[in-house]
């Protein structure tokens, strides 16, 4: 009887405990949500106020002879001067200026840049870069200076292009391209950390909006000890069709990294000369399956009639992917005779050749 009563008491205590904990959690969630809501509303109110200042700056035309106090570009109303001494309004203003800056150009963009400088936001961004240790604050500072086109900060930013933190160096590299265009690529000479695939694409996208001024140093990048720099240089060769670099690119076929070799094969396909197909065939025997497949795809695009005998030999490979790629390359190279070449192959009626030939016939019909 005693044991049962203790059990019930314990249950009651536990139930009360859970109830209290539940209520505390609900109260905490409620308080947190109402705090967030209040903050959101405050931000919205601030946004409305601050936009009045942005609006004034966007279409501001300074009177030519009249100078404002402290030689400032635009006179900032007193209510804003006081407001912008506080942390939150300053943060809201910075966010809004950056947002507008991304979408506009011309005189309005220049005006916003001047407002950004006049309000000391540039100094704030430099502080983020120099005084904080957290990577996300540094990266944010670099990004901000880059969006606001603060070219005179390049020296401060450039020392981060090979930072150990991936995000900081990504932002610094992007800023270098933003400020200097193709000349900004000189960071490829010094970086020891890898350039991620994403960063490579981002840099290429940024470069696509810059005038092409040639690549000083691309030969050195193609021989870089950093494999990702070679891969990126190969992408540059491909995108900007640097035919004069064919022989330098061809040397990358001797590289030990498979990814570099694959990228090299793809690049050679885009800038091929009469030497490309023999070169790819020369390396074929020593390559792994991925590179062989890339080589067969390359030969499929190069369509050199001299390669037919080599491609026919590859039909005997044990790997079905290689067989199919070789057959496709024959179809592309031999044109209308492609099917005849394949049909003449001794095992044409056996599995998997019968199926491969049927598939290629169907593809040719389309």
Partner 1 sequence: MKILVAEDDPIMLKTIQLRLRKDGHEVICVMDGNEAMKEIEVVLPDIIITDIMMPYSSGLEIVAFVKRNIPKKIPVIILSAMGQENVVVEAFGLGADDFVIKPFSPNELSVRVKRLELKTNN
CA distances from 309 to 280, 283, 288, 296 (A): 14, 16, 21, 13
- Determine, following the binding rule CB under 8 A, whether residue 212 of this chain makes contact with partner 1: no
CA distances from 251 to 97, 106, 241, 310 (A): 48, 46, 17, 22
* Rounded (10°) CA dihedral 35, 36, 37, 41: 100
**# chain residues binding partner 1, by CB under 8 A:** 19
**Considering only residues 59, 155, 351, 366, which one is a binding residue for partner 1 as defined by CB under 8 A?**
59
- The encoded tokens of residue 65 equal 């002879």
Minimum distance of partner 1 from residue 254's CB (angstroms): 36
Minimum distance of partner 1 from residue 209's CB (angstroms): 6
**Considering only residues 63, 106, 211, 225, which one is a binding residue for partner 1 as defined by CB under 8 A?**
106
CA distances from 80 to 49, 53, 83, 86, 116 (A): 9, 8, 5, 10, 14
DSSP code per residue over 337-351: GHHHHHHTSTTTTST
**Long-range contacts for 155-159 (Cβ within 8 Å, ≥24 apart)?**
156/126, 156/129, 156/130, 157/129, 158/187
- Determine, following the binding rule CB under 8 A, whether residue 55 of this chain makes contact with partner 1: yes
- Determine, following the binding rule CB under 8 A, whether residue 60 of this chain makes contact with partner 1: no
- Determine, following the binding rule CB under 8 A, whether residue 103 of this chain makes contact with partner 1: yes
Residues numbered 139 to 168 that lie near partner 1 (CB under 8 A) are none
Taking the least distance from each CB to partner 1, the nearer of 57 and 236 is 57
- Determine, following the binding rule CB under 8 A, whether residue 205 of this chain makes contact with partner 1: yes
**Considering only residues 43, 49, 74, 108, which one is a binding residue for partner 1 as defined by CB under 8 A?**
108
* Rounded (10°) CA dihedral 97, 102, 107, 112: 10
- Determine, following the binding rule CB under 8 A, whether residue 345 of this chain makes contact with partner 1: no
Taking the least distance from each CB to partner 1, the nearer of 51 and 73 is 51
- Determine, following the binding rule CB under 8 A, whether residue 99 of this chain makes contact with partner 1: yes
- Determine, following the binding rule CB under 8 A, whether residue 211 of this chain makes contact with partner 1: no
Taking the least distance from each CB to partner 1, the nearer of 99 and 123 is 99
Minimum distance of partner 1 from residue 75's CB (angstroms): 19
Residues that bind partner 1 (CB under 8 A): 51, 54-55, 58-59, 96, 99-109, 205, 209
């Amino acid at each position: 009887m005693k044991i049962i009563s203790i059990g019930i008491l314990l249950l009651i205590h536990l139930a009360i405990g859970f109830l209290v904990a539940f209520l505390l959690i609900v109260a905490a969630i409620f308080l947190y949500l109402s705090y967030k809501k209040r903050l959101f509303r405050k931000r919205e109110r601030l946004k409305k106020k601050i936009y009045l200042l942005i609006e004034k700056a966007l279409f501001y035309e300074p009177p030519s002879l009249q100078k404002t106090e402290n030689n400032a570009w635009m006179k900032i109303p007193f209510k804003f001067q006081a407001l912008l001494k506080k942390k939150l309004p300053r943060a809201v203003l910075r966010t809004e200026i950056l947002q507008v800056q991304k979408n506009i150009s011309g005189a309005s963009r220049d005006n916003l840049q001047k407002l950004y400088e006049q309000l000391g936001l540039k100094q704030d961004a430099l502080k983020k870069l120099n005084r904080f240790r957290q990577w996300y604050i540094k990266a944010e500072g670099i990004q901000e200076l880059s969006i606001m086109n603060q070219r005179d900060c390049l020296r401060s930013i450039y020392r981060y292009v090979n930072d150990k933190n991936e995000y900081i160096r990504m932002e610094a590299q992007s800023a270098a391209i933003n400020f200097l265009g193709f000349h900004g690529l000189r960071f490829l000479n010094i970086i020891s950390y890898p350039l991620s695939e994403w960063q490579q694409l981002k840099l290429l996208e940024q470069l696509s909006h810059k005038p092409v001024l040639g690549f000083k140093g691309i030969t050195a990048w193609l021989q870089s000890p950093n494999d990702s720099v070679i891969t990126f240089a190969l992408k540059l060769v491909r995108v900007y069709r640097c035919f004069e670099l064919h022989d330098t690119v061809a040397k990358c076929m001797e590289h030990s990294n498979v990814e570099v070799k694959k990228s090299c094969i793809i690049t050679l396909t885009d800038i091929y000369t009469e030497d490309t197909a023999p070169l790819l065939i020369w390396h074929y025997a020593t390559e792994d399956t991925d590179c062989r497949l890339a080589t067969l795809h390359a030969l499929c695009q190069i369509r050199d009639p001299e390669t037919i005998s080599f491609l026919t030999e590859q039909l005997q490979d044990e790997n079905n992917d290689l067989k199919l790629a070789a057959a496709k390359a024959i179809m592309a190279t031999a044109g209308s005779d492609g099917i005849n070449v394949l049909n003449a192959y001794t095992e044409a009626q056996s599995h998997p050749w019968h199926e491969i030939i049927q598939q290629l016939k169907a593809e040719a019909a389309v």
